[in-house]
Chains A and B, each alone.
Chain A
Amino acid sequence: MTDAGLFQRLVERTGRVIVLRIDGVPVEAREGDLLITAILLHRPSLRRFEFADAMRAGFCLMAACQDCWVQLADGRRLRACSTPVAEGMDVLIEGPSHD
C-alpha cells in the first residue's frame, strides 16, 4: 500500500494513451493529464526533498508553491502541476540523494 499511487481518477478518460517513464518504468497516462497527475496516479510522491530524507508530492496545484518541480532524464526540470504530460517523458524520482 505504501507504494500505491496517491491520486484516484474519478472521471474516466477516453483520450489517447501517453506512455511516460518513471525511474525507468513505463507507465500510462491519458491525453489531458498534467505531469503531476500522470505521476501521482502511480506513485505516492514525485521528488526527493533536497534538505532532508523525505519525499514531496506537490502542494498547491496552482503553480504558486513550487513544490512539484521534477527532474527529467534529459536534464529538463519541469513544474509538474502546470505541464501537460507528453509522450516519452522520462521522470527521475529516486535519483541519488543530495547530501
Chain B
Amino acid sequence: MTEARDPVIAVIGAGPAGLRAAETLAAAGLRPVLFDEALRPGGQIYRQPPAGAERPPAQLYGFEAAKATRLHGVVARAAGRIDYRPETLVWSLAEGQLDSVGPHGYARLAYDRIVLATGAMDRVLPFPGWTLPGVFTLGAAQIALKAQGVALGRRVVLVGAGPLLPLVAHQLRKAGANVVAALDVTPFWPKLANLPGMLALPGTLAKGLWYTARNRLAGLAVQANVQALRVEGKARVEALVWRDAAGREHRIACDAVAASFGLRSETQLADLAGCRFGFDATTRQWLPQVSAAGRSDIATVYLAGDGAGIGGADAAELRGERAALAVLEDLGRKVDGARQGVLDRGLARHARFRRALEAAYPFPSHLLDNLPDDTLLCRCEGVSVGTLRDAVGRCEVTEMNRLKALTRIGMGRCQGRVCGQAAAELLARACEADIAAAGRLRGNPPVKPIPFRKIEA
C-alpha cells in the first residue's frame, strides 16, 4: 500500500517567473517549496531593499510599481500555501533531489517536480582595466540604486548593449546621480530597422522611447556605435577611454564605470539537472532546451523565466504561470485550457518583440577583436587573454573544459558564470573555429561557494 500524499514541487528562484509559478501551484491546492537566495522576494528586477532601507514602490520601480507590489505580495497572499525559504541557496541538484543551504543550515529535499526560475545576470565582456575597483556591471548600478539608494561613484559612466542602458541612465539621473556619459557599443541603425518588430509590444517600446527622450532632454544623449573601451587608473578607476567609429579616442574622467552587454541566462542548475542544451545563435549562448509550455527534456524538470533564455520580466511572469500549468497537467490535475491559450498567445507576442530587440542590439563581437594580451579574462583567477591564446597555440586546445583544465579560466569562485561566454568567443577566434564548436563549461556543484561551518552544523 502506498500512502497518498501531495507531490513535492520545488520552485527555484523568487523573481517574476518563480513567484508566478509558486502562486499558480498554490492556487491549485499544492504547497510548493519556493527557494530564494535573496532576503526578500522579487528577484533582481523587482528587488526589495533590506529592512531599514525601504522606499515607496513608485520611487523604486517607476512604471512597474504595480507589478512589483503585486509580486511582492504573492507569498503573503498564499497564506501558508507557499513554503517560502528566503536566504537559501540551492547549490546542488540531481535526479529527484536538491541540496540547499540557508539560515537553518544544510538540507536535502526530495522533489517530484522542479521548476527552475534561476533568472539572468549581466552579459560581461572583458576590456582593459575592467577589474579595477570602481568597474561594475550595469545591473549593479541599478541594484545599488534600488536596494541601497546609492550611486556607484560621484562621476559615473554607463556602458551597455541593450535596453537596460537608457533605463538605468534615466533612473540614476532621476535619483540625482552624476551620470557623465552613456555609451552604447551597438550601432544606431538596427534600432530603427527593428522598430516595426518591437511594435509587437507597443507599451514596452513606448517606455523605452520615453526613457531615451527624457535622457536627451536632460542633456544625456546615448553615444552609439562605440568601438573599443579601456579603463585607466592606478588603484581605482580614474577615466574611461572609448573609440568612436571614425577611430577617434575620447577620454572621460570618472570614478565609476557600469558596463555590461546585454543579459545571459543563469543555467548551472539546469545543467546539473541533466537538461539537454542547444546553442542559440542569436544570443551566442548555450541554453537548456525548453518547450513553449516550459517543459525540459527531463520529465520532472521545468524551466521558466530568463534562466531559460532572456525574455524580460513580463514574459517571465507568463512563463512562470505557464510552466506551473504544465506541471499541473502532467500531474493529471485539471487545468484551465482557456488560460493556457491566453498565456501562449501572450508569449508569442513576447517572442516576436524579443526577436526584434535582439536584432536591434546585436552581439558586440567587435569588442573582442584586438584585445591586448594582458587584458584579464577570468577575474576570479586572474588569467589573461594572452594565456588563452598561448594555450591554443601550444596545446591546440579547442574546447572550453580543456581550456579550463589547462589555464584555470572559469575555475574560480564564479564557476565561469562571468567569463565563460567571453572565453568561448575568444577561444573560437584563436582557433579560427565556430563558437558552437568551443562548447560550454560543465556545471559543478556547489554552483556558488558555501561555508563549511554550515555543512558541519
Chain A residues packing against B (C-beta within 8 Å): 2, 6-11, 13, 15-16, 30-34, 37, 41, 44-45, 49, 51-52, 54-67, 69, 77, 79, 82, 84
Name the B residues within 8 Å of A2 (CB-CB).
Answer: 234-236
Name the A residues within 8 Å of B414 (CB-CB).
Answer: 64-67
Q: Are B136 and A58 in contact (CB under 8 A)?
A: yes
A56-B418 contact in complex given A7-B152, A8-B151, A32-B53, C-beta closer than 8 Å: no
Q: Are A55 and B235 in contact (CB under 8 A)?
A: yes
B176 proximal to A (CB < 8 A): yes
User: What 9 A-B pairs come out closest when comparing CB atoms?
Assistant: A32-B52, A32-B53, A11-B149, A31-B52, A57-B133, A66-B413, A51-B382, A45-B133, A61-B140
Name the A residues within 8 Å of B139 (CB-CB).
Answer: 60-62
* C-alpha gap A15/B148 in the complex (Å): 13
Q: Are B134 and A44 in contact (CB under 8 A)?
A: yes
Q: Are A59 and B136 in contact (CB under 8 A)?
A: yes
Q: Are A65 and B51 in contact (CB under 8 A)?
A: no
Name the A residues within 8 Å of B50 (CB-CB).
Answer: 32-34, 84
- The segment out of B37-45, B70-78, B331-339, B343-351 that lies at the interface is B37-45
Q: Are B52 and A30 in contact (CB under 8 A)?
A: yes
Chain B residues packing against A (C-beta within 8 Å): 37-39, 44, 49-55, 121-122, 131-137, 139-140, 143-145, 147-154, 175-177, 234-236, 255-256, 266, 379-382, 412-414, 417-418, 448-449, 451
Q: Are B418 and A60 in contact (CB under 8 A)?
A: yes
Q: Are A8 and B38 in contact (CB under 8 A)?
A: no
Q: Which residue of B lies closest to A47 (CB)?
A: B133
Q: Which residue of A lies closest to B415 (CB)?
A: A66
Name the B residues within 8 Å of A54 (CB-CB).
Answer: 131-132
The one of A6, A15, A34, A41 that contacts B134, using a Cβ cutoff of 8 Å = A6
Q: Which residue of B lies closest to A64 (CB)?
A: B121
Name the B residues within 8 Å of A62 (CB-CB).
Answer: 44, 121, 139-140, 143
Q: Are B37 and A63 in contact (CB under 8 A)?
A: yes
Q: Are A59 and B449 in contact (CB under 8 A)?
A: no
Name the distance in Å between B100's Cβ and chain A's nearest Cβ: 15
Q: Are B149 and A10 in contact (CB under 8 A)?
A: yes
Q: Which residue of A lies closest to B449 (CB)?
A: A66
* C-alpha gap A91/B412 in the complex (Å): 23
Name the B residues within 8 Å of A65 (CB-CB).
Answer: 121, 379, 414, 417-418
* C-alpha gap A82/B140 in the complex (Å): 12
* C-alpha gap A52/B384 in the complex (Å): 12
Q: Are B53 and A6 in contact (CB under 8 A)?
A: no
The one of A33, A55, A61 that contacts B143, using a Cβ cutoff of 8 Å = A61
* C-alpha gap A72/B266 in the complex (Å): 30
* C-alpha gap A57/B150 in the complex (Å): 15
* C-alpha gap A63/B143 in the complex (Å): 11
Q: Are A10 and B136 in contact (CB under 8 A)?
A: no
Q: Are A10 and B134 in contact (CB under 8 A)?
A: no
* C-alpha gap A63/B413 in the complex (Å): 11
The one of A8, A64, A82 that contacts B417, using a Cβ cutoff of 8 Å = A64
A10-B151 contact in complex given A52-B382, A61-B139, C-beta closer than 8 Å: yes
* C-alpha gap A30/B54 in the complex (Å): 12
Q: Which residue of A lies closest to B52 (CB)?
A: A32
* C-alpha gap A62/B119 in the complex (Å): 11
* C-alpha gap A37/B152 in the complex (Å): 9
The one of B51, B144, B147, B382 that contacts A7, using a Cβ cutoff of 8 Å = B144
Q: Are B176 and A60 in contact (CB under 8 A)?
A: no
The one of A32, A45, A51, A77 that contacts B451, using a Cβ cutoff of 8 Å = A77
Name the A residues within 8 Å of B413 (CB-CB).
Answer: 66, 69
Name the A residues within 8 Å of B234 (CB-CB).
Answer: 2
* C-alpha gap A58/B412 in the complex (Å): 15
Q: Are A61 and B149 in contact (CB under 8 A)?
A: no
The CB with the most chain A CB atoms within 10 A, among B151, B235, B236, B449, is that of B236
Q: Are B149 and A6 in contact (CB under 8 A)?
A: no
Q: Which residue of A lies closest to B47 (CB)?
A: A62
The CB with the most chain B CB atoms within 10 A, among A2, A33, A61, is that of A61
The CB with the most chain B CB atoms within 10 A, among A8, A30, A49, is that of A8
Q: Are A63 and B136 in contact (CB under 8 A)?
A: no
A10-B175 contact in complex given A44-B236, A45-B236, A64-B417, C-beta closer than 8 Å: yes
* C-alpha gap A51/B131 in the complex (Å): 13
Name the A residues within 8 Å of B266 (CB-CB).
Answer: 64
Instruction: List 16 extra interface pairs beyond A34-B147, A59-B137, A65-B418, CB under 8 A.
Output: A6-B134, A7-B152, A8-B177, A9-B150, A15-B52, A32-B51, A32-B52, A45-B236, A49-B382, A54-B131, A59-B136, A60-B139, A61-B137, A61-B144, A63-B448, A82-B38
Name the B residues within 8 Å of A51 (CB-CB).
Answer: 381-382
The one of A13, A55, A77 that contacts B149, using a Cβ cutoff of 8 Å = A13
